[in-house]
Structure 1
Amino acid sequence: MLLQPKLNLRVSQRQVLTPGLVQMVSVLALNKLELKEMINAEVVENPVLEEIEENAQTYEEQAGREGDRELSAEQQQTETERVEKDPFDEIDMGEYFQEYLDPGFRVAGPSFEDVDAPSFENFLSKPSTLSDHLMWQIGSMSLRPELRAATEVIIGNLEENGYLLVSDEELASHDTRGIATPELLAEARAVIQSLDPTGVGAADLRECLLLQVQAGLREVEAAIVRARRHTLQTGEDESAQDLSPLPALEARRVQLKLACRIIVDHLLLLQKRDLRELMRLLASHADAVTSAIECIRQLDPRPGLRYNVSETRLIEPDVAFVKRGDDWTVVMNEEDLPALRLNSGYRKMMRQKETEREVKEYVKERYRSAIQLLRNIEQRKNTIVRTCECIVRRQGDFLERGVDAMRPMMIKEVAEEIGVHPSTVSRAVANKYVHTPQGVYELRFFFAEGVNGPEGGDLPLPLLKKKVRKLIDDEDPRKPLTDDALAAELQRQGIQVTRRTVAKYREDMNIPSTHQRRQRQ
């Protein structure tokens, strides 16, 4: 059978995202700070876009608006002089983008030259990380080349908290030199664990705490040796407790040794706060065990975070709910946002016959891109305002009385009310904050499903979580409430929830279980 080429015609539908639609979706999801950064980047890249500066003067203003009259005369010229009619010129920019058109070039001041002064932001130092801090210490040590290379491999694989969670096999796979033997890695790990901060390089919480206690124990024993040497040299009596530091150092050593035993053998009982069982297993009295537990509480379970400090996240409300008279109004926060307009100088350039074709095509493309951006920014504003107006209508009681008066509200309901897809509403409220009389909230905070509450109404989840936390805060620490007891108490208040629901929301709030909350005497 011979295969012969054939032509087949097939009609199908495909959903294609155009570049303009992709930009519209991305712009909608930006908050105010991100939008400002994006606008600044577009202004730098697109010469047709420019920011309207306050108190800026134009040449036309200085020359009595002569440029405006010239521009008006150019617009009155007939299009019959053109050999080919360009659809791009049919765009009435004066009608749709009059506020963005530039009447002329700008004058920054009395001088035409603008000397760029260096920004002080260029002199700000980069915050040091844990890896930088450890590498700085390694650089001051005299180590064999292969040992130094092994320590660098370990430092590069440390977790944010300072833990080393990878195995020797994984470390060896990351070593491009092929020198990371188990013996060398063990030696390098010991070097890392001797550095500051104490506890870094540990494999788990137990080892991290133990490294810190052992370091403190070594310091205390060294201090005891120095104190006894000083006593022998001066001939003082060790029994003079009011002058000698030895009794306090000895008590500290006993405390640290007891803390070591708790960490090594009874860490689970410590997490359960079972003081009675700890006293029995350690054969020690309550004061000594309590003192050792207090010593452990002062340790740092995440020593790496001391240097891996995350940058502070700036939050600036994108919108505000303001009450004017008896009505609530949605006010967009557009302060510090660059005001954009289109530079008409490039439009003149396109109408000049001596302008090269390549230049005209480039300017046309830049105009299209700029107009699309301006439309997307305006569409973003309209979508956010309409969404917030719907929130205000549905959450008026919250704005007046607070969280206790909040009502359940779903994204789908708001999308149907304003006539858009739910994904559009989801992007409109993503990473955006609103200033209300009750405080600053993320817009997503207002969208929460409800459970059956008192009098047949729905209770929003934030209020349910608040009630669960209140019951746990008021419980007896020696007899904490179980999830079943919490669900039963909520049901007595008319809130229909199950034990599994209570357990889920308790875990969402990072509240320990009943067994972990119980305090034993």
Structure 2
Amino acid sequence: MNFNLNLIQTQKLIMTPELKQAIEILQFNAIELNEFINEELLNNPILEKLATDIDEEPISEKVEQEFEYDLDKGDKPEIDWEDMVNYFDESRPISGSTYTADSDINYDNFVADEENLKDYLLMQLKFSKLEDEVVKIGEYVIENIDDNGYLEMKNEEAMMLFNRTHDDIEQIVRLIQTFDPAGVGARDIKECLLIQLYQQGFEESLEETLVKEHLVELGEKKFAIIAKKLGESAERIQMAYDYIKTLEPKPGRSFSSMRDVRYVIPDVYVEKVKDEYVVTVNESASPRLQINGFYKKMLSQFSRDSLTNEYLSKNLQSALRIIKSIEQRRNTIYRVCTAIVEYQYDFFEKGLLYLKPLNLKDIADEIEVHESTVSRAVNGKYMQCPNGLFEIKYFFQSGVKGASGEGVSSESVKLVMKDMIDKEDTKKPLSDQFLADELVKAGINISRRTVAKYRDELNIPPSSKRKRF
């Protein structure tokens, strides 16, 4: 045993800050990417967002080869700024856009005032002809009602604040519970349903008893057990259950504002042109950047000292790396989605029933990247296609074997199961074993356990809870 010095040549991947940044940018969804870009625009004055009001050609695989300028090439200690910026400009032509004053005002942003639940309740309170002190207490109670119409206040809070007795506060709460919409001001779901039953004249009824004493069992559809306890028939309990289902569990839901609606912005569009599907990356979801024109002129017209050189070097390298990472992100998403469209062609042509099983490795091998790259490229991103709007992850499905040996996706099996359950006799619902046997007869090799799993994912109760008397 002795000490030796040996030279060994190895290859390994070093996680540089630039590589980490590229991986993070690839994983960003549309909102996160825009937040990252806005932050960089504030920190780096050399960066500038490119106007996207012009039509651009769909991204192609050429993009991957266009941005390969080596920031560290050459032996010169000083970077050739003009060469770098000119290379960037030539690789991706930029079209300018003109400013118009009309772009500052968009009349789509002018929305009419909407009445919310609290405004509606306060209006009814003012028309109740109450004393000023009682109105103040009523306003306080209404302010403690949430958007679903439930009261999030204990009577003790109002008692201490207004120096009133428990009965006084409870009387005001009861008054507000008579307001429209029915069920508003309740403390829990049971009180909400009882308020609606009383307003519709169901006092001392079977429906009242069910809500008061057997609400949990009713939710579990244990009609036979409840009927035995109350001495009623299962059919009568089921009829009462059907009526209770028509009541509103969230009275304030009718006052939900359109401003609360959140729309998904697709990252990729798939359109059928003649007989081919064309994939286009959404420019608004992944905006493009460019080098600020002022700094371009400064680079070519003015002499610079060492401090200016250091400042420009730091910011320009950062800007170009961000631009390259965003372009590579767009190119990777384009290639992944193109491969998915080719693999799932029958789905786009014929519908959900023809969705094939697919995993990350299949797409990774197709476009010659690692599985983790594909996973990051589809994370939190959406595709708009003729069949609808889907999360890109939706196309990566597990599946079971069919009669021909080809895989059948889980979503296709769920669609067949749901269709069978929708057509079943409600008095004799289909069991999981029967569904499994029928699917095997149809050429889909599946077990009863898998059928139960898919049924749970569809939020369909078991056959015992689907039975109608």
TM-score of the superposed pair, with normalisation by structure 1: 0.64
Letter aligned with residue 51 of structure 1 = L
Between the aligned partners of 1:398 and 1:153, the Cα distance in structure 2 is: 51
Q: Does 1:97 align with 2:89?
A: yes
Classify the secondary structure of the residue corresponding to 1:97. helix
Q: Does 1:370 align with 2:319?
A: yes
Higher alpha-carbon deviation: 203-212 or 320-329: 320-329
- Displacement after TM superposition at 1:336 (Å): 9.3
Counterpart contact for 1:129–1:308, Cα < 8 Å: yes
Letter aligned with residue 450 of structure 1 = G
Q: 1:351 to 1:123 in 2, by over 3 A?
A: same
Counterpart contact for 1:399–1:437, Cα < 8 Å: yes
Counterpart contact for 1:213–1:260, Cα < 8 Å: yes
Between the aligned partners of 1:285 and 1:470, the Cα distance in structure 2 is: 27
Aligned equivalent of 1:151: 141
Counterpart contact for 2:427–2:467, Cα < 8 Å: yes
Find the partner of 2:255 among 307, 313, 317.
307
Between the aligned partners of 2:185 and 2:18, the Cα distance in structure 1 is: 48
Counterpart contact for 2:267–2:286, Cα < 8 Å: no
Aligned equivalent of 1:215: 199
Between the aligned partners of 2:349 and 2:108, the Cα distance in structure 1 is: 43
Find the partner of 2:111 among 108, 111, 124.
124
The C-alpha deviation readout for 1:385-444, integer Å capped at 9, x for no partner, is 221232133223333333232211012332344343434323322343334454443322
Between the aligned partners of 1:152 and 1:364, the Cα distance in structure 2 is: 60
Between the aligned partners of 1:121 and 1:135, the Cα distance in structure 2 is: 30
Aligned equivalent of 1:412: 361
Between the aligned partners of 1:436 and 1:123, the Cα distance in structure 2 is: 30
Counterpart contact for 1:403–1:463, Cα < 8 Å: yes
Aligned equivalent of 2:346: 397
Counterpart contact for 2:159–2:165, Cα < 8 Å: no
Letter aligned with residue 395 of structure 1 = Q
- Displacement after TM superposition at 1:460 (Å): 0.8
Q: 1:206 to 1:417 in 2, by over 3 A?
A: same
Aligned equivalent of 1:384: 333
Q: Does 1:318 align with 2:308?
A: no
Counterpart contact for 2:49–2:290, Cα < 8 Å: yes
- Displacement after TM superposition at 1:44 (Å): 7.4
Name structure 1 gaps, 5 residues minimum.
1-12, 56-83, 218-252
Higher alpha-carbon deviation: 511-520 or 395-404: 395-404
Higher alpha-carbon deviation: 305-314 or 470-479: 305-314
Aligned equivalent of 2:17: 18
% identical aligned pairs: 32
Q: After the TM superposition, which residues 135-284 of structure 1 pair with which residues of structure 2 at under 5 Å, given as runs?
A: 142-143=132-133, 147=137, 151=141, 154-155=144-145, 158=146, 161-163=148-150, 190=174, 193-217=177-201, 257=205, 259-265=207-213, 267=215, 268=217, 272=221, 274=223, 281=230
Counterpart contact for 1:102–1:344, Cα < 8 Å: no
Q: How many residue pairs align between the two structures?
A: 431
Counterpart contact for 1:279–1:289, Cα < 8 Å: no
Counterpart contact for 1:332–1:385, Cα < 8 Å: yes
Letter aligned with residue 335 of structure 2 = R
Aligned equivalent of 2:279: 330
Between the aligned partners of 1:375 and 1:180, the Cα distance in structure 2 is: 68
- Displacement after TM superposition at 1:492 (Å): 3.4
Q: Does 1:29 align with 2:21?
A: no
Between the aligned partners of 1:136 and 1:363, the Cα distance in structure 2 is: 62
Letter aligned with residue 303 of structure 1 = P
Q: 1:133 to 1:47 in 2, by over 3 A?
A: farther
- Displacement after TM superposition at 1:282 (Å): 7.8
Between the aligned partners of 1:117 and 1:500, the Cα distance in structure 2 is: 59
Letter aligned with residue 212 of structure 2 = V
Counterpart contact for 2:144–2:153, Cα < 8 Å: no
Find the partner of 2:391 among 407, 421, 442.
442
Classify the secondary structure of the residue corresponding to 1:490. helix
Name structure 2 gaps, 5 residues minimum.
1-11, 55-75
Q: 1:132 to 1:314 in 2, by over 3 A?
A: same
